[in-house]
Amino acid sequence: MNKKTFLWIVVGIIALMLLAVSRVPTAVSQVGVTEPPALAKMEIVPAKITWSPAIDYPYDELILSITGPDSLVWEEAFSPQTWPSLEVTDSQGVPRPDGSYTYTLRVHLLLSPEAGAALQAARETGDPQAIANLQAASILPPAPYAQTGSFVIQNGTFLAQPAQDARETSDDHGGDNHLDDVVYYENLIVVGDECVGADCVNGEVFNYTTLKLKENNVGLTFYDTSAGTFPGVDWQLTANESTSGGLNKFSIEDLTNAKIPFTILANAPSNAFYVDASGRVGMGTATPYVELHLASGDTPTVRLDQTTSSGWPAQVWDIGGNEQQFFIRDVTGGSTWPFRIQPGTPSNALTLRADGTVGIGTWGPAATLHVYNAAPTILVSRPDGKTTLSLDSSGNLLLGGLLTEASDINVKENLRPVDSGQILDLVAGLPIYTWNYREDQADTAHVGPMAQDFYAAFALGADDKHIASLDANGVALASVQALHSQIKDQQTQISQLEQQNADLEARLSRLEASAGLRIPMRVLYASLAVAVLALSMVAVLTWRTRTHAKLHPFWIKP
């Protein structure tokens, strides 16, 4: 044996070894990779599908979501006493359309108070290991919390449990078409088109296709034989499921980790997913204008669906818009609409700034809540139509209840008693008018002092442009106290005069009796009236002499 022959034998052996090794990694790379446990077992009969739960922990409900032909979307929740199921006809007895369907079954956990509190605390701290820790502590049940699959309706009935297509288990295709392996140890260059697969025929039509894969199970597998720390995940492009009644779809499969991260179903519309040269993504459009552009003929919507698959409570939000509104919808909370914006809403209708201030009609709120408008108004009303608070553009405040102002001694300081008599004197000299606000109608009359006069007399409040109702009430109460004191004094004087009059009348009666004379009673009453009038005039003159007294420091008691 010469050296050249020996060299070719060695090369051949090495090539055969490499070929053998290249066929091993599929099994090796998937050692330890198992399908996730099932949430429920799907049982199919021609008229009904039933999912029997395979979990042994308590739960609140199972939620079955289904999508199908003609944009069909259906969802229903099932209590623990009822197994999830789907009949081939809807609630009205109408047959569901033929075609492929995809379902997701999710469990809504029945959380204990301890689990709920732990989840809330974990959400606030942002602990990424919270769910795993709670599961390890048996506070949360173990996964799975969700399951996904598919089924087919054909000729008005559910297809039975799918049967597996016969796949080649060896390199021998069998029959009369047995082909021997052909191994090339150099580059293979094909000038022309190529068909690969058991169903390729002589005279294959390519229709401008350079490479065609043709048989009953079509796929393209990427086996990475790298070892050590080099990346070695195996991938596969798969066209259609291999089971009878399975999905017509194109998928990218992660063989090593038994996952299918990307799938396109047959009959998906054109431009369902489109990436342009600038990296902009269009969904439903080939001309995306922004980084992510959603286009639909009816209410394009984004769903934020927190499933129970990670252990957190389920919550679904929708964000969408149409010619009527932009909205945020709380699907879990009964499909309520907590936030809506109508088309044509002006700029800065609602703004929230970094300092926590809120502007309505302004981008620069000058207060915690700043309402800016040519005619700003605030209205608070009840469902029964009753207005409880109204603030119009003129500053008029209408209350359907009480105005209660802070008057707690614990919020006050610099307390000093007042001279109510001095306040009464100042009130007596305070000009009082009837008037109307310039922004009101002329016949909308009010009565009261001017703020400038009130401030000049009492120096109360922040400025001479406003009168606080608490200050006006205080002045009125002090004046009432002064009047009450004066009335008491006058009542005392009247009582004294009445006593004096009674004494005089008794004395006069005695004199008449001794002298045989009698003075008419009307004369006595007239005398008493003159005396009372004289005392009253003295009191009034005394009061008016103090009318022009200054406020400070006289009316405040030391």
Do the Cβ atoms of 213 and 197 come closer than 8 Å?
yes
Of the candidates 223, 230, 255, 180, the residue with the CA atom closest to the CA atom of residue 20: 223
Helix (H) or strand (E) holding 530: helix 521-544
Q: How far apart are CA 171 and CA 155, in angstroms?
A: 37
Residue 349's CB is within 10 A of a number of other CB atoms, namely 13
| CATH level 2 (architecture), domain 40-158 | Sandwich (2.60)
Do the Cβ atoms of 421 and 433 come closer than 8 Å?
no
What count of Cα atoms within 13 Å lies in the side-chain half-sphere of residue 410?
0
- pLDDT computed for residue 179 by the predictor: 62
**For the chain, which residues make up each domain, given as ranges?**
1-31+200-238+252-260, 40-158, 359-399, 409-544
* Most distant CA pair in the chain, distance: 185
For the chain, residues with pLDDT lower than 70 are 1-36, 161-179, 516-525, 538-558
pTM: 0.64
- Tens-place pLDDT, residues 499-540: 999 999 888 888 888 876 555 666 666 777 777 777 777 666
- Tens-place pLDDT, residues 250-303: 999 999 999 999 999 998 988 999 999 889 999 999 888 899 999 988 899 999
- pLDDT computed for residue 208 by the predictor: 86
| Own/partner pairs, 234-243, CB within 8 angstroms, 24+ separation | 234/25, 234/26, 234/29, 234/30, 239/213, 241/150, 241/162, 242/164, 242/165, 242/167, 242/217, 243/162, 243/163, 243/164, 243/165
- pLDDT computed for residue 240 by the predictor: 92
Residue 157's CB is within 10 A of a number of other CB atoms, namely 16
In order of 237, 379, 395, the CA distances from 362 in angstroms are 54, 19, 19
- pLDDT computed for residue 335 by the predictor: 92
Instruction: Write the DSSP assignment of 345-381 as a string of letters.
Output: PPTTSSEE-TTS-EEES-SS-SSSEEE--SS--EEEE
